A and B are shown apart, each in its own frame.
Chain A
């Protein structure tokens, strides 16, 4: 019998970074004549062979449209596609695959929720976000606020880059309808105390959404423990393909929300008199979905689940500690975001240098980082900077690469001195 699964069947491997790196073919190349040091994982992470192979195999052996039945390839494609949904359900510990909606990514997931909650909102209502949000968790709410007369209110941030809990407690009022905050800051790396915040919000009947885009690459969330109403993330930051993301939502709320887009797949029956919607999760999945991408994301999660995640977290933390130790070796360098609980991300500035100067000269040395406002302009305004340089690490980065970053930064600093 043909094996229809595209699951990585390897057993749990001990965490050895040099072995792991061989799973990521893109990492072994040269850039500008130097070995690539990829430290822009917060923008998008690289893909293991397991993902590339699963997508390749899907197209070679299984591709057809899903949920159309009538032939063998259609059944194979549907099995692989729905298998990936089950993999995501298990990853998040959701109760049912009905609660797992495929989207284009985090941005579309938040837009979907904001539109779906619009009927609940009216003038005077408040949507609580924070000053450290990515624009994707600000702008969709502003657009809905404009339509409904509700107001978007930001929780303040401390100079260290932590959410100001006094500000949160003060702003969480009888007017608050929605709390939409990031699990982990894309700029600062701060891990926010979301469990406590969700619980406070729920006590007031407030709907909660957590933006997990920067969290899932570093640790595995449990949506039942978090008890949030919505949890969203993108595949491409979780070592999966671009073009697909996940909206987890509690079934009761998803049932209540109107569809986001109309078209094929999302309907039960269409007539010019009356059209009715398909059941969850399909009600929110109009049109032919990103099938190969869903399969790829499933393979990425399977790949991760066969690694020792506790050991990976320890290794990632060692990268962050080493980076923090080395900051003083670069004159004029300072870190923006020094929260007690962080994922391995450092945003920094060097006195007298523009972030783009730093990025350009690191690239010359084969080192890829992100520079700019990181789609978080309100946070840049708070820190009074036009942007930052950001090195964001993944589990496949090495301590040696951290040291190369700082050697390169010393060179950059000397060049401008």
Chain B
């Protein structure tokens, strides 16, 4: 079934939980196992992704797993909504983390967010190399491109 506007607006990530919620929870996680368990759980909160959107145009290249990303810009609120899917569980968790930081934000705000700084605060770069084919950079890059296109429009 194609994604409706409502599907995008119903994606709670960014509102529930918020970035602050995630940062607070992360502080109490001691070792890599707990951090990964948390990320994997977050991935389980990704809303369903429409089957008919798994097409080349929405494919995020540069990941070892398959990743798809679609967006909807809501004219009324001026906010950009995103849906992401992957067949790898850790990548789903990272995608959810990205959505917590970037989903449902005005494109200008989104572009002003320093995502590297965020991941450093989460101490993720010590554990998840951005170059290791998990597609973190590719996903963020694609989202920033979409936001930049909305700003330019």
Q: How far is the CA of A372 from the CA of B132 in the complex (A)?
A: 12
* Number of chain A interface residues as a range: 10 to 19
Give chain B nearest CB distance to A187 CB in angstroms: 16
Residues of B in contact, count (CB < 8 Å): 18
B64 lies within 8 A of chain A by Cβ: yes
Residues of chain B contacted by A415 (CB below 8 angstroms):
33, 36-37, 40
Q: Are B65 and A356 in contact (CB under 8 A)?
A: yes
Q: How far is the CA of A360 from the CA of B91 in the complex (A)?
A: 10
Give chain A nearest CB distance to B42 CB in angstroms: 13
Residues of chain A contacted by B127 (CB below 8 angstroms):
32, 364
Q: Are A356 and B37 in contact (CB under 8 A)?
A: no
Q: How far is the CA of A360 from the CA of B133 in the complex (A)?
A: 10
Q: How far is the CA of A386 from the CA of B65 in the complex (A)?
A: 8
Give chain A nearest CB distance to B54 CB in angstroms: 13
Q: How far is the CA of A364 from the CA of B133 in the complex (A)?
A: 15
Interface residues of A in 372-417 (CB under 8 A from B): 372, 386-387, 411, 415-416
Give chain B nearest CB distance to A152 CB in angstroms: 26
- Interface residue SS majority, chain B: loop
Residues of chain B contacted by A353 (CB below 8 angstroms):
89
A309 lies within 8 A of chain B by Cβ: no
Total A-B residue contacts, Cβ distance less than 8 Å: 44
CB contact between B88 and one of A32, A354, A364, A411 (< 8 Å): that residue: A354
Residues of chain B contacted by A355 (CB below 8 angstroms):
64
Give chain A nearest CB distance to B135 CB in angstroms: 9
Identify 30 residue pairs between A and B in the complex whose beta-carbon atoms are under 8 Å apart, listed by A's number: A32-B32, A32-B127, A353-B89, A354-B87, A354-B89, A355-B64, A356-B65, A356-B91, A356-B133, A356-B134, A357-B89, A357-B90, A360-B128, A360-B132, A360-B134, A361-B90, A364-B32, A364-B33, A364-B36, A364-B127, A372-B64, A372-B133, A386-B65, A386-B66, A411-B33, A415-B36, A415-B37, A415-B40, A416-B40, A416-B89
Q: Which B residues are within 8 Å of any A CB, using their own CB?
A: 32-33, 36-37, 40, 64-66, 87-91, 127-128, 132-134
Q: Which A residues are within 8 Å of any B CB, using their own CB?
A: 32, 353-357, 360-361, 364, 371-372, 386-387, 411, 415-416
